Structure 1
């Protein structure tokens, strides 16, 4: 006797500009230096149930591995938009990362804590 199987429901997803498909549409709040980690957590906390996640790199120096990892994380198929958070004095190449994310078709914005007016102003802006 042949087995009966139930129909498989269609899976919802997001087609990215590069052809990859994400099953989530996460907003990544990414710190580019450990000094910006607190600001990222405070920005993301009220939105934690909305699919906003904190990612980042704690270093404070040019690092090719960190650059590659942040580019891969910020353009992962499950990431739909990115907020980069920089202290302002670190050596991480935030402009290159911002361009890579923009080129991937995702909305991206860079928030620089020192230029925004400090911690509280940056949290409010984020």
Structure 2
């Protein structure tokens, strides 16, 4: 399975919360402009490990309960993994982690934008890479 390694070195420059959680990632090259300008959309419950090592179960659409996810802002991605059934795992420069597993009934996450290969992980982990 493909891994969106272009996210390594990108920083989170935008967070948005409603019935989805959206994280905007970018990496800028002073000579060439943006090499990555991407958005991760999370549509199902996910796990976050904060920089202190505490795990949080978060669910889009829950308002202030998503507060811990604000700590992703201005963090830099240091590792990206795609695990079984399209589970996404990101590690950040402050040791925080993000894990979005597959959902049996709904699309769990998608990645779109410039500099990344678009992907959607559907029900049960069905992965659709758009080329």
The normalised TM-score by structure 1 is 0.27
Q: Rg bigger for which structure?
A: 1
Higher relative contact order (CA 8 A, sep 6+): 1
More helix by share: 1
